[in-house]
Amino acid sequence: MLRRIAVLGLPLLAGLALALVLLTSPSGEPQAPRIKRAEPSGTRINYPVGQYPVLRLPDGERRVVHSLLNTAAPHAYGEYVWDDSGVPPGQVWIRVDLALQTISVFRAGHEIGSALILYGAKSKPTPPGVYPVLAKAEQHRSSLYDAEMPYMLRLTGDGIAIHASDVRPSAATHGCIGVPLQFARLLFAQVEPGDRVAIIAARQPPSSI
């Protein structure tokens, strides 16, 4: 009897312990960096040469990140961070994360700007993907919505664009990506037609590194 309990019970106990560990570890791990917010001093988080992280875009392309802006605290709605001092000229690309409601602007692999965004409502979703900037217009008035859209960067032929908006909580757009006005002005000066904008879907699991 004792033998049977030992033979059957011990593996069962081991399996239970394994399941417990597997269930608790994924929820415990992402909280660790959030509690610990020890950041290196300076305005940038520079990655060591040879250990550059790679961001994967929705179309499978991989982009190397050399440095990020040293802001890890949550952004406020309508505020932005911009610092391109010391960043060499180079290829500009934009990463829009719908799940995080953030936008990041990269130049030559270095992040030069970051802000919170507005994106399309559920009924008019912003399409994920990688889009080249088709056209840019400093002063644009939407014929579809009869609304001013300053510093517009058109992404699709059917009207999806990045433009200045009143970025505030629990608001959404008709599919465009809304950014704060000053940020839109700075972004407008950086971006040229043909530069790529990666829109990461809201439901897509984080895919990087």
Partner 1 sequence: MRALNQLFSGLTLSQRKILMLCAIALVALAGAMFGFTSRPQAGGTAASAARSPLSIFASRSPGARADGALFRTKRRLAAAPRSRPRPAVVIPRERVLSPVRIRPGGPLQIAPGAPNVAPQGLSLDAVPLPTSVPGPAFRSPYIPDVGSGYLPFPPGGPVIGAPPVEGGNPVPPPPAVPEPATWMLLILGLGFVGAALRRQTRLPAGA
Minimum CB distance to partner 1 smaller for 36 or for 194: 36
Spatial distance between the Cα atoms of 160 and 132, rounded to a whole number of angstroms = 12
> Is 171 a binder of partner 1 (CB under 8 A)?
yes
* 3-11, 130-138, 150-158, 184-192 -> range binding partner 1 (CB under 8 A): 3-11
Spatial distance between the Cα atoms of 44 and 25, rounded to a whole number of angstroms = 31
Each residue 94-123 as x (binds partner 1 by CB under 8 A) or -, in order, gives ---x-xxxx-x---------x-x-xxxxx-
Phi/psi at 74 (nearest 5 deg)?
A: -60, 135
How far the first Cα of the chain sits from its last, in Å, is 53
Spatial distance between the Cα atoms of 46 and 33, rounded to a whole number of angstroms = 18
Minimum CB distance to partner 1 smaller for 29 or for 158: 29
* 74-82, 125-133, 151-159, 187-195 -> range binding partner 1 (CB under 8 A): 74-82
Tokens of 54: 């790679």
CA 5 to chain centre: 53
Tokens of 148: 């001013």
- Which residues 22-61 are close enough to bind partner 1 by CB under 8 A? 24-25, 28-30, 32-40, 45, 47-48, 51, 53, 55
Neighbours of 5 (CB within 10 A): 9
Spatial distance between the Cα atoms of 189 and 197, rounded to a whole number of angstroms = 15
Q: Which stretches of the chain bind partner 1, using CB under 8 A?
A: 2-3, 6-7, 10-11, 13-14, 17-18, 21, 24-25, 28-30, 32-40, 45, 47-48, 51, 53, 55, 65, 68, 71-75, 77, 97, 99-102, 104, 114, 116, 118-122, 124, 142, 145-147, 165-166, 169-174, 178, 202, 206, 208-209
